[in-house]
Structure 1
Amino acid sequence: MIHAKRSTGGSQARCLLGALIVASLPLAVYPTAPLHAAVIDAGSTGNRLHLFKWTPTSHGLPVVEDLASSATDCSNHQPLAQATSLSAVNDALQGLLTCAASLDKNLDLAVVPLTLMATAGMRVLPYRTQEQVMTWASAVLSRGTFLFDPSRVQVIPGSQEAYFGWVSANYLAHGFQITDPAQTLGMIDMGGSSLEIAYAVPTSVAGQIKGQPITQFAFPGSTLHVFATSFAEYGSDAFNQHRVTAAGLCNASPPTPDPCLLVNAMDTSVATCELHGAASYDQCRASVDSNLHTDCPTLSAAETCSLDNTPIPAIPSNLPFELHASYYWAFTDLDITSVTTDAMTTAAQDVCNKNVAQVLAKYPHLDAPNANWTCEHLLEELLVLEHGFDLSQHALNTSQAGWAIGAALVSFVLPSSDRVDHTCAKHKYDGGHVAAIAIACLSIGLLLSVFGTWYFLSKHRQQYKIEVQLQPDRNGDYIQLSEE
């Protein structure tokens, strides 16, 4: 707020002073030049490059666009976790870099920071193997055109992957223009190797939980306590392998038919033997349910039981959840229009009681290898919601957005201890940074001119007595001129 006290007249001086300050401050605080950052998601089933462009706004977080969202060449099915040589890693990553170069011909990738984050497929490998593959990945990316730092190639913990997914879901939903945990979204992401869950819990609950991965998410006006964790081997592929092994289907000769594999389907990818399908909704549901393990021995009043007999903070009642990855594709491929557990049950009953040819004929979005396990995958997704986290009565939605947007925001935008350092001493600046610096310098010049005007008036127009106090409004968006 600008307060101007007048001894004798002075409206002209106040208007001049106020106009100069009001004109200069938005330039200093809100540069609008677009910024860019690239994130490679090295997952258990393949790799995807995201090239994010964001434009800062005069309030809240920037507008984010993924330039690679519709570029099929920016993804592949060559998991780094399966690479055994530098050549294999090069084959998995080189196509992504080529794709990135074609997305925006006017963008200088040499000033765009690149991050590679590997997830559950890499986490299950021995540490020495992880280290070797990440070294190979650094060697490949260092020869590319992006702004690159080897420290940006990393295997991220499951809790961090979950947290990034939560940031992504809530950024896209409301841009964090909220203060109450009840206004946030919970997030569940089921990949091939692991399953992640994250949600905000009330401060009173967070204070009662000991030894749980709870992160404080601070933004203007509020601090949220976010529980984020990962369940290894509860991704769709890993869970199916565990289920088949636990059932001992390969112990018999010939192998016992699998009640979760579609009739007339055959598979050798999840077991040591050749499996044959005998899908049945009731039998597959029982097989999946028996492997979820949701019987915790002890719980505190602030906890609930979840997958793998793991206590987690009690999920706030009626908290809406957004479902990522396998969930999104299940609803899309099977044309499930209502995002509810009832609709999933109906779809599972239909799919599990058809043979593979009938499923492919009814659902053309499916391809043959993936269609074989449609019954099993859908029932796992359903029972995780119903029995794993007791979310049948919660509002649900699906989204194609994964954790990569959240990773970019945390690394490059949000004030966070995990944020990548972009100081002059370490990195170049892209066009957005240069523009911001130029605008800041211009604003400083304007402020100096304001001071000069004030000094001149104080010396030559003694009838004016001006006292200036700057104070932003509650949103920090504008300056008001008022008179006492």
Structure 2
Amino acid sequence: MLKNLLLLAFISCVFCKEYYTVVFDAGSSGTRVYIYKIKQRINLLPEIKLVINHKETPGIDDKNIEDVESYLESFTRIIKDNVPDNFKKFTKIHFLATAGMRLSKKTEAHRKLDRVRKVLRNLKPFPYDKSNVRIMSGEEEGAYTWVATNYLTKQLENANKSQTIGIVEMGGASSQIAFLKEGNILANFFQAQIGLKQFPLYSHSYLHYGKDKALEWIRSYLMRKHKKGIIEDPCMVEGTDDGKEFRVANRTFKAKPNYEECVRLINYFIYEAPDDRCYPTPCAIGTTYQPKPDENMKFYTLATFFWSLKNLKLHDQRENVKDYDQATFTIENVKQKIRKYFNDSDPFKELERNPKFPLRKELFSSLYAIELLTDGLNFKEDRVFTAVSKIGDHSIDWTLGLALRLADFKICDQKSTQIHLLKQGGTLIFPSVGLLLICLITAYAFTKNTLL
């Protein structure tokens, strides 16, 4: 008995606690569940491994309230199958809805989340916490994406905070920007506490400014402008599999590509307020305050900036590489390539067709994303961006940033370390020096006991 207890104490000194965290990302286009295995390390950030991620479409905001339980069945089965039995009682489940649910009617959204809570409350033996099911703010989404990016690039461990990487992300319903900003941040401030370090972030989410919402707005605008007859759409090119004409909301649209007119419509959507209506200054889209990031700061652009541009071969120096996870681009180069697509009578003849990614919608998404960077977020056209989908084996997801933020840093920080004496069911906290002495004494006692 003594030998086993000493061995357990010694292992607790040398190895930090391992555990699992489950995070749902309930987005506008679908719902994903991520299961992470987290290992604490002394004086280091945790080691996080993605066990599995699983996606179902459409998103929960498109499901009827009475269908929520059945919608979650495959997710609960995956959670049960991928979290080991001896960890289930201690594995917390977080269900966070993003932009799609933010746009839903408040009463309907709350009723759906109540159904989610019912499912998770009955998912035994996993612990249940009502507050873990909620709609997350756009600022959180941007900030946790920033955390994930800088964790994977090891910038969180860098003593020089100025080398951290900013992020711009575009989804279907919203776009996010987050970057570190020293000095005063007058609005949209988010303090990221990671371990013993604090990172003052500017983080903002532009709701309705995702690629799908932008396309919906432009088509609604064209329908209001043209009450009858066929509507000519300047943002849709010809020469695609789905034909020159197409139907939207019982109206017939006709592709009539016009690069300049499409840019004009996008810029009408991404309006900038006059100076006398911008307070505090400077402003980005509308009257939204956004400080200027450092000109030398590196920015990763995610989601639409990667996939839509990749599908159309718009990234720099990647034309002959079929599969890649990162690529650079400048705004001016991408605009030149997009303009060529608009002027070509058969623009996609050399591209592979994929029904999941209609190419003329991808072209609009690419042009809109680029215009958002310049006319919306005020980046210069010659600035070099890095479009990223993965870093190593990890995709860049806000769920990873949240998992890191939720990690119990009291276990392995520089000030104190916990020794979990599982046999006694207690937790003791010792200063680092004291912990070292205890580890040495335990190791000596264990060795002596073994030899005896």
**Corresponding residue to 1:233 among 208, 212, 215:** 208
Amino acid at match of 1:93: L
- Alpha-carbon distance between aligned partners in 1 of 2:219 and 2:356, rounded to the nearest angstrom: 20
Residue matched to 2:101: 122
Structure 2: gaps (5+ residues): 1-7, 319-326, 390-395, 411-419, 445-452
**Corresponding residue to 2:227 among 246, 252, 262:** 252
Q: Does 2:40 correspond to 1:49?
A: no
Residue matched to 2:259: 281
Alpha-carbon offset, residue 38 of structure 1: 0.8
- Alpha-carbon distance between aligned partners in 2 of 1:186 and 1:435, rounded to the nearest angstrom: 46
Residue matched to 1:397: 386
Residues 106/140 of structure 1: CA separation in 2 closer, same or farther (3 Å cut): closer
Residue matched to 2:401: 406
- Alpha-carbon distance between aligned partners in 1 of 2:428 and 2:311, rounded to the nearest angstrom: 50
SS at match of 1:283: helix
Residue matched to 1:377: 365
TM-score (norm 1): 0.73
Q: 1:77-476 to 2 correspondence within 5 Å?
A: 77-86=57-66, 88-103=67-82, 108-145=87-124, 146-203=126-183, 205-206=184-185, 209=186, 212-219=187-194, 222-248=197-223, 251-263=226-238, 264-268=243-247, 271=249, 273-298=251-276, 303-335=281-313, 336=315, 337=318, 338-340=327-329, 341-354=331-344, 359=348, 362-364=350-352, 366-367=354-355, 370-391=358-379, 392-400=381-389, 401-413=396-408, 447=438
Alignment RMSD: 3.6
Residues 230/135 of structure 1: CA separation in 2 closer, same or farther (3 Å cut): same
- Alpha-carbon distance between aligned partners in 1 of 2:333 and 2:369, rounded to the nearest angstrom: 12
Amino acid at match of 1:92: Y
- 1:188–1:198 contact (8 Å) kept in structure 2: yes
- 1:319–1:394 contact (8 Å) kept in structure 2: no
- May I ask how many residue pairs the two structures share in their alignment? 401
Same amino acid, percent of matched pairs: 17
- 2:233–2:256 contact (8 Å) kept in structure 1: yes
Alpha-carbon offset, residue 133 of structure 1: 0.7
Which structure: larger Rg?
1
- 2:312–2:351 contact (8 Å) kept in structure 1: yes
**Which protein is richer in strand relative to its size?**
2
SS at match of 2:203: strand
SS at match of 1:290: helix
Residues 38/351 of structure 1: CA separation in 2 closer, same or farther (3 Å cut): farther
SS at match of 2:43: coil
- Alpha-carbon distance between aligned partners in 2 of 1:385 and 1:281, rounded to the nearest angstrom: 17
Amino acid at match of 2:267: D
Amino acid at match of 2:217: H
Residue matched to 2:324: none
- 1:179–1:221 contact (8 Å) kept in structure 2: no
Structure 1: gaps (5+ residues): 1-23, 416-431, 454-484
TM-score (norm 2): 0.77
- 1:121–1:193 contact (8 Å) kept in structure 2: yes
Residues 37-62 of structure 1: CA distance to partner in whole angstroms, max 9, x if unpaired? 11110001110111111222333211
